[in-house]
Amino acid sequence: MFQDLHIALAVLVGMLLLFVSNRLRLDLVAVLGLLALTLSGVLTSAEALAGFSDPVVLMIAGLFVVGAGLFRTGVADALGRQVERLAGQGIHRLTLAIMLVTAFLSAFLSSTGTVAVMLPVVLAIARRRRISPSRLLMPLAFAALLGGMLTLIGTPPNLIVSGQLEQAGLEPLGFFSFTLPGLVMLALGTVSMLILAPRLVPERKGRIADDEQPAWSELFEQYGLKERMASLRVPANSALVCSNLTGSELRSSFGVTVMAIISHTDRGGFIHRAGADSVIHADDELIVIGREQDVAEAATRYGLERLPKPAQLPQPLGLVDALVPPRSEFIGRSLRELRLRSGLGVTALAQRSAGDAGQPVDLDRPLQVGDALLLTGSSRGLQRLSHSRGRLVLLGDPEREQDLDWRKAPLAIAILLGMMLAMTFGWMANVSAVLLAAALLVLTRCLDMEQAYRSINFESVILIAAILPMATALDKTGAMAMAADGLMGLTGQAGPLMLMAALFVFTAGLSQIVSNTATTVLVAPIAIQAALTLGVNPQAVLITVAIAASSAFATPVASPVNTLVLGAGGYRFTDFARVGIPLQLVLLAATLVVVPWLFPL
């Protein structure tokens, strides 16, 4: 037993270090930890695989499908686009409307999906009202986190703490058990953001265009491309004549991207967007993007003539910027591997890492979460690129509604309401209600099976299924009892409020560097045991853990939603700490007052 204890603790520490290092995917780390516990004999095979049949895991998978049904039928988009109508005039009313609508969506959908829907809407509002996006996007992200506190299905930590209570033979939390404390946290969080954000976050440079400048100039300035645009004429004796862009190797060999080709004819110039198969003819004018030395080298190699820099972009060249969201299939892959131009007819003109200045594309640099890309391409190609909402989040895509089936929106809402009623009144087990709702959304063609499978965040599902047995290992080896005794030794004399405060601080702190889902899985069993030892209401202690886990405000990497708005709002790393830490202190104080009142200790 003593040896098993050392092994379990060593595996736990190793997993935490790998989580923090971010060198491996979270789900892979959890699976490696599970294998270590199994191969070392700490867990039996049955104990190791028990997490994959846990109702919480199946519920989370089903809720991804339910959320996708609401996204696909346009319910989420319709709510998002009501923001400006509700806001009226003034930055405070606008911020309030954004936070309330976002929190409402996040109470039933994933926080990342909610921010992906709201981000283009909020940026468009900021542009129209000439407001710096930094004034609006941090409230947007924090509202998504606060909204997850409102219902049982709002965020995985809520489901996990309820499941842990049930596993301990205690009364699980109901669908609306989180609503009253969550509403208090949302109200205080909203008021705090209205007060803190304008004072603590400076107005960062955003996507607000000068009325005297065209829209392309705004985007080019953000990505640092205004000085890198050039115009080249193709003489009749150039080696590029009659070759297509792929064969020319301008991009692959020289790093020069052709945005548009102006073909001069007897009837004037014919402008078309450059595609992989676009053929270059004599006397064509190429509008390109690249570093000066690269453009000069390409011009010399192919005998191209430099023309004056164009004063404006040729039409109908469309531009849109996009963000790489968490768990995107593009993460870790380079633009050369993705071959967007040849596969989808979409060209990446520039890229930038979250919080950094823009630069021309580096075809071999692996993309990371929060990276921004400046794209050009047909509306159809851009829609296909973002089809699953898991590849890229397009900011300002003018035709993003065309892929939504608005006719099924009432049906999707009815299915969601039915699921909520079944969970609230206990007509069936929660997991059965969620899986039934997911199945009905597919059967009624609110989304098809392929879309349903694509919507499931398998990283989160595998992470939870693989890390749940860690709690079994800690309990089996006595590590959990040791942790609970240590916690009692620190807080027992001071009473239950000190226990709640310690759990809040520890959980919230760990959630800034480790997934809040993984944090909750590890902390919840210890919290239950400490509560039972002290004779404190376990529900009060577990709700404290859930609220703390969702308080991921202090760093841009604490939550995927923070990472999404980091680059779009032009934030710096310290901006989140300046606003997030005071907000966490407000929620800590509120939790110690509200939770014992609603769930007597």
pLDDT score of 401:
46
- In the chain, what percentage of residues exceed pLDDT 90? 11
Peptide bond into 360 cis (omega under 30): no
User: Which of 214-218, 335-339, 353-357, 596-600: highest mean pLDDT?
Assistant: 596-600
Q: Return d(Cα 171, Cα 212) in angstroms, integer.
A: 63
Higher pLDDT, 535 or 357: 535
90 and 190 belong to one structural domain: yes
The answer to the question of residue 226 being in a domain is yes
Is 281 part of a structural domain of the chain? yes
> Is 80 exceeded by the pLDDT of residue 79?
no
Q: Say yes or no to pLDDT of 133 above 60.
A: yes
List the single range of 10-19, 192-201, 247-256, 365-374 with lowest mean pLDDT: 247-256
Q: How far apart, in whole angstroms, are the C-alpha atoms of residue 486 and residue 115?
A: 39
**Average pLDDT value for residue range 338-356:** 68
Are residue 237 and residue 122 in the same domain, yes or no?
no
Q: Is the pLDDT of residue 216 over 70?
A: no
- Asked if residue 584 belongs to a domain, the reply is yes
- Threshold 0.75, pTM exceeds: yes
DSSP letter for 407, please.
Answer: G
State residue 186 phi and psi, 5-degree precision.
Answer: -65, -45
Query: Are 426 and 575 part of one and the same domain?
Result: yes
**Domain end (from 284, 307, 330):** 307
Whole-number pLDDT of residue 467: 83
How much is the pLDDT for 211? 41
Say if residue 231 is in the same domain as residue 183.
no
Q: How far is CA 305 from CA 120, 259, 272, 297, 473, in A?
A: 40, 17, 20, 12, 70
**Separation of alpha carbons 554 and 558, rounded Å:** 7
Per the domain annotation, does 118 fall within a domain? yes
State the average pLDDT for the chain.
79
Predicted local distance difference test score (pLDDT) of residue 3: 81
Amino acid at 412: A
Is 80 exceeded by the pLDDT of residue 210? Answer: no
Q: Where are the alpha helices (DSSP H) in 265-385?
A: 292-302, 335-338, 340-344, 379-385
* 26 plus 135 within the same structural domain: yes
pLDDT band at residue 355 under the 50/70/90 scheme: low
pLDDT (average), residues 30-44: 89
548, pLDDT greater than 90: yes
pLDDT, residue 404, reads 62
Q: Which tops the pLDDT comparison, 34 or 371?
A: 34
The answer to which of 133-137, 171-175, 342-346, 411-415 has the lowest mean pLDDT is: 342-346
Q: In the prediction, which pLDDT does 208 show?
A: 44
pLDDT digits (tens, 9 = 90+) for 253-267: 777 887 778 776 544
Q: What is the pLDDT of residue 520?
A: 86
- For residues 169 and 300, membership in a common domain is answered with no
**How far, in Å, CA of 264 to CA of 285, rounded?**
8
569 in any annotated domain: yes
Instruction: Please tell me whether residues 468 and 490 are part of one structural domain.
Output: yes
How deeply is 403 buried, as exposed, middle or buried, from its count of CB atoms within 10 A (0-12, 13-18, 19+)? middle
191 pLDDT above the threshold of 60: yes
Share of the chain above pLDDT 70, in %: 82
Q: Is residue 230 part of a domain?
A: yes
Range of the domain at 262: 215-307
* pLDDT band, very low/low/confident/very high, at 495 (cuts 50, 70, 90): confident
Read off the pLDDT band of 146 (50, 70, 90).
Answer: very high
Rounded to an integer, the average pLDDT of 84-92 is 74
**β-sheet bridge partners, residue 230:** 288
Taking 60 as the threshold, does the pLDDT of residue 364 lie above it?
yes
Is the confidence at residue 32, as pLDDT, over 60? yes
Q: What is the mean pLDDT of residues 228-243?
A: 81
Residues 248, 165 share a domain = no
Are 195 and 255 in a shared domain?
no
Least confident of 120-124, 283-287, 393-397, 480-484: 393-397
Residue 590 clears pLDDT 50, i.e. is over it? yes
Considering the domain architecture, whether residues 19 and 103 belong to the same structural domain is answered as yes
Q: Is the model's pLDDT at 523 over the cut of 80?
A: yes
pLDDT at 183: 94
Helix axes 134-147, 179-200, angle to 10 degrees: 160
Do 20 and 135 belong to one domain? Answer: yes
How many CA atoms does the CB half-sphere of 92 hold within 13 Å?
7
Indicate if the pLDDT at residue 398 is higher than 70. Answer: no
Q: Mean pLDDT over residues 342-348, rounded?
A: 67
Mean pLDDT, range 52-59, rounded to an integer: 85
Of the three residues 286, 307, 328, the one that is the final residue of a domain is 307
Q: How confident is the model at residue 218 (pLDDT cuts 50, 70, 90)?
A: low
Residue that finishes a domain, picked among 276, 307, 338: 307
Q: Is residue 391 part of a domain?
A: no
Q: Which of 188-197, 341-350, 395-404 tops mean pLDDT?
A: 188-197
Decide if pLDDT at 537 tops 80: yes
Residue 222 is part of a domain; what is its CATH number? 3.30.70.1450
Ranking 167-181, 280-294, 347-361 by mean pLDDT, the lowest is 347-361
Q: Give residue 207's pLDDT.
A: 46
At 295-311, the pLDDT tens digits run: 888 888 888 888 877 65
Q: Does residue 346 surpass a pLDDT of 80?
A: no
- Total structural domains in the chain? 2
Residue 360 pLDDT greater than 80, yes or no: no
Element (H, E) at 348: strand 346-352
Bridge partners of residue 484, in order along the sequence: none
Chain mean position to CA 43: 34
**Which of 78-82, 293-297, 398-402, 585-589 has the weakest average pLDDT?**
398-402
Question: Does residue 378 sit within a domain?
Answer: no
Report the pLDDT value the prediction gives residue 66, as an integer from 0 to 100.
Answer: 87
Residues 123, 264, single domain; the answer is: no
